[in-house]
Structure 1
């Protein structure tokens, strides 16, 4: 049975969102978090360490990145290659940690752009078009598609789970970018075949090289199956077989590449306890907020079209792209980093909720968003004022308790950027909650702008405190005051993040303590490895000088030993 589309959209509702405003939101979201901060524990600084290790390593070592014999937690190659190449090409005056972030900044930009274009092409699909009015006046296909693409980009930026992981130099962001390229390629095959095939040919192998080969192969297999069962009017005979052949070749090449590089890993681990299921539910609720209520609304309002999903690519493709990482998150205990690659597809589904909204629901979203993000912005400003003026006293006391030894630093550029963004937020909130003609994208302007506001405030006003709390710099500064600048330092029991922190922030070459004669006058031992160190045959040759903890974490405590003979 044929059901009419639930989208009822007039031409006036697809008025163009100014490009300068969209670009400004994107820049305000992308740049903070990449500029001016130190590498954070744990995944961020660990990945950075493998990039540093590859920078001067022979090409043969690039297939098996290691650091002091330790392999990465994620079996990936591409993100470490990108960072190492950026370090090699960067001028000497560029800080290494910033140089390594540059390709990841571009990956985030590609993700945002690919999400926009994927939604645009899906919205051009005949099954996605709004109801045609009897006397005309319905939204034109191109303007309608552009408006939904703008909305999907705003929805992606508004998603809470994207903020931190998209600003780290980790395989998770490379997976997100490659997955979104593949998504864009599938969505644009009908409209831009050359660009689409390039995106597929880059995205699918790139996803495998970024540490998610199983996800890449499952997506490819489901796509091949979808092409086989697609209706004849959707894709013709010769075109169908040509598409199957090309995608089959890319899939086979991805599989061979994954096996050759030894990247395939798979395990099925369901949450074992009730608390695990509750934690998983909380992850889904906050990580995909505020997109998931809109996705549920889309699935409900387009439910009749979902029953004919083969004929409605604008629903079938994003559902497939979201369902695989959602399932992976549940069945592999992969947590938020697996769920991250579902966000672009979920943003597309969220955009298709907007043509079915009533005005009362849009107003509810607006007022809730204004209150939610304004409250958090006030909290961030109050804590900052407390740190710098002592008024009110309670927030500063809490920071002193959580981060002992932290001294606030006033930074004029950060203050100006935070103040200008806050004023822009209040102006936007006043404009949006006033009386204006309806445009579909308006319901997501405030969520995206609010998320951008809070992220920018955190990365400006709170950045010194966050760096102090989440980096190894304060701990290494304390150790430097003890040991100075020796030619090298022995280590034992240090994790990969601790090793990288020692090398990068301390500036000391390190070597793992072995059974042979020590070569360095100083030794750093993780507190958990103290018993193992005491059992070594040369433990008596070292004297304990001091234990140094990371100010915000008792578990990151290093024992500083000095060799009795090597002075």
Structure 2
């Protein structure tokens, strides 16, 4: 006799009825049936979407290119404008770290909106916004299909409430393609039993996105997840195997297009691609890279995916061994991509984005069953943390512009000495409006799990909005290369006839910064009289000739620059 394991989220877990009930539930997509009557929740859907829209835009506009990735990515976009490039290049060299589809999207927005509507930097950043919206939509639809319509909205809010998505969703970052690919894979798996053809299309698209942005090894993790799901009684159907086969048939030709074009148009780049970059950071067929940074990634996951991971653990604790399709999918996904992350050769916290989607989707399932005390504590902690951060940011704004408090003003000048006081009425108005809306949101009564997550998302949106309005000029002065290039140009004597400035190939950051902000281009001639070099402190600069200027960006300890007269 089959063991009876209970009932959870509307699924009868008796093994004799798992498949029929799972098929019916995933087809009709009802709201999950609670084990006990849940308190009625009043929910203004338009306010939820207004919060997401407010989260999307701060940080996209009004600032220069910031390290570490933006100068390189924008150089790839700018260099490939007006041509169909199957492989991004920076200064003529192949740039394998960036997905071509990201470059194409950034080029599209730049051509459409720059310079008449937006500056080129903001227009290019809309590529990140586009893939972030794609990922949020796909994750919400996946949660709706697996857990119920309300879980879709909560998943989107939980993703925006996670600090890990902030930087990549607003700055130039190819990791948003990875986020969109992971979310699309979940969407495809969620609709598998309702529409196999749609699932194959979505899974193939997800595989191609992951393959372009993170390498073929990341793309191969998707069919591996599907193979693991075959062991689950909730997923053991012929449709899963058909979808796996259909995904491979559709995705492999698409993944092979770029290498095939490279082999025909640029054989040297194609050889470098399959030998060293086929599997992304893990290397290629002739060179394999592997590492183990488990402690680093586990430590960063605590803040990167909070509160999603905490709520996912709470939902898992309520299973108590019961069968649930969403739980099995989450477990298989984390098992496969968890190993992928642990063995990743690079220490880069944004790789955790592949784990954020399953944690948010599964964590949304138990929000209405969250105990009132737990929801109240989460809400109180969010109000205290983000309220204190917002107060500190307002004090910092007063300090760096009016000198009070004096100690805070001194620290502000220390970290951004190139900042010149700027009082922008539109930024101040937006900051005041964001603060007022947050105060209104957190004063609501009868807090439950949904409202606690909503308030957490509102808090992180408030802090991000204050940073990208009140502190944007201060941050730009510290993180942009524009003030540095202005100092170098001021130290450079007027160029006489036949004189020029040369930047060596190894000084990549110096060359990119000079190309963006200098009044005249650098010369490729290595015999120029003036030379701008780059070195890594504390090693002394390898400069020959008279040093005209030497320095670095404020508080930067990894790169410094030196201008020399070689004659």
With the length of structure 1 as denominator, give the TM-score of the two structures.
0.82
Task: State whether structure 2 residue 156 is matched by structure 1 residue 153.
Answer: yes
**Using a 3 Å threshold, how does the CA distance of structure 1 residues 24 and 45 change in structure 2: closer, same or farther?**
same
Residue among 34, 47, 50 paired with 1:8? 34
CA shift for structure 1 position 102? 1.6
Q: Tell me, in whole angstroms, the C-alpha distance in 2 between the residues paired with 1:522 and 1:416.
A: 46
**Using a 3 Å threshold, how does the CA distance of structure 1 residues 324 and 522 change in structure 2: closer, same or farther?**
farther
Task: State whether structure 2 residue 389 is matched by structure 1 residue 365.
Answer: no
Q: Tell me, in whole angstroms, the C-alpha distance in 1 between the residues paired with 2:552 and 2:152.
A: 48
Task: State whether structure 2 residue 102 is matched by structure 1 residue 72.
Answer: no
Aligned to 1:19: 45
Q: Tell me, in whole angstroms, the C-alpha distance in 1 between the residues paired with 2:403 and 2:67.
A: 29
Secondary structure, counterpart of 1:426 in structure 2: helix
Task: State whether structure 2 residue 403 is matched by structure 1 residue 380.
Answer: no
CA shift for structure 1 position 26? 0.9
CA shift for structure 1 position 192? 5.3
Native 8 Å contact 1:185 1:195 kept in 2: yes
CA shift for structure 1 position 490? 1.2
Q: Tell me, in whole angstroms, the C-alpha distance in 2 between the residues paired with 1:181 and 1:509.
A: 43
CA shift for structure 1 position 386? 1.1
CA shift for structure 1 position 41? 0.5
Residue among 474, 478, 486 paired with 1:465? 474
**Using a 3 Å threshold, how does the CA distance of structure 1 residues 240 and 204 change in structure 2: closer, same or farther?**
closer
Q: Tell me, in whole angstroms, the C-alpha distance in 1 between the residues paired with 2:455 and 2:167.
A: 20
Aligned to 2:136: 112
Native 8 Å contact 2:428 2:469 kept in 1: yes
Native 8 Å contact 2:530 2:565 kept in 1: yes
Secondary structure, counterpart of 1:391 in structure 2: coil
Task: State whether structure 2 residue 329 is matched by structure 1 residue 317.
Answer: yes
| Structure with the larger RCO, 1 or 2 (CA within 8 Å, 6+ apart) | 1
Q: Tell me, in whole angstroms, the C-alpha distance in 2 between the residues paired with 1:220 and 1:278.
A: 27
CA shift for structure 1 position 561? 2.7
Deviations 1:241-294 (A, max 9, x none): 5434312313433554576563324232124xxxxx654442122212222221
CA shift for structure 1 position 427? 1.1
CA shift for structure 1 position 492? 2.0
Q: Tell me, in whole angstroms, the C-alpha distance in 1 between the residues paired with 2:159 and 2:93.
A: 35
Aligned to 2:512: 500
Aligned-residue RMSD, C-alpha:
2.9
Q: Tell me, in whole angstroms, the C-alpha distance in 1 between the residues paired with 2:484 and 2:182.
A: 37
Aligned to 2:248: 248
Native 8 Å contact 2:502 2:531 kept in 1: yes
Aligned to 1:346: 359
Aligned to 1:28: 54
Deviations 1:434-465 (A, max 9, x none): 2x3x6552221111111111111111111111
**Using a 3 Å threshold, how does the CA distance of structure 1 residues 53 and 367 change in structure 2: closer, same or farther?**
same
Native 8 Å contact 2:485 2:513 kept in 1: yes
Question: Is there any run of 5+ residues in structure 2 with no aligned partner, and where?
Answer: 10-32, 263-272, 283-288
Alignment of 1:8-407 (within 5 A): 8=34, 13=39, 15=41, 17-56=43-82, 58-59=83-84, 62-72=85-95, 74=97, 76-93=99-116, 94-123=118-147, 145-191=148-194, 195-226=198-229, 228-229=230-231, 231=233, 237=238, 239-240=239-240, 242-253=242-253, 256-257=256-257, 260=260, 262=273, 263-265=278-280, 266=282, 267-271=289-293, 278-305=295-322, 308=323, 312-334=324-346, 335-407=348-420
Q: Tell me, in whole angstroms, the C-alpha distance in 2 between the residues paired with 1:75 and 1:353.
A: 37
**Using a 3 Å threshold, how does the CA distance of structure 1 residues 513 and 280 change in structure 2: closer, same or farther?**
farther
Secondary structure, counterpart of 1:509 in structure 2: coil
Native 8 Å contact 2:503 2:510 kept in 1: no
Native 8 Å contact 1:478 1:548 kept in 2: no
What number of residue pairs does the alignment pair up? 513
Secondary structure, counterpart of 1:207 in structure 2: helix
Secondary structure, counterpart of 1:421 in structure 2: helix
**Using a 3 Å threshold, how does the CA distance of structure 1 residues 73 and 178 change in structure 2: closer, same or farther?**
same
Q: Tell me, in whole angstroms, the C-alpha distance in 1 between the residues paired with 2:534 and 2:95.
A: 19
**Using a 3 Å threshold, how does the CA distance of structure 1 residues 342 and 198 change in structure 2: closer, same or farther?**
same
**Using a 3 Å threshold, how does the CA distance of structure 1 residues 513 and 391 change in structure 2: closer, same or farther?**
same
With the length of structure 2 as denominator, give the TM-score of the two structures.
0.82
CA shift for structure 1 position 193? 5.1
Native 8 Å contact 2:38 2:369 kept in 1: no
CA shift for structure 1 position 554? 4.9
CA shift for structure 1 position 377? 0.7
**Using a 3 Å threshold, how does the CA distance of structure 1 residues 498 and 282 change in structure 2: closer, same or farther?**
farther
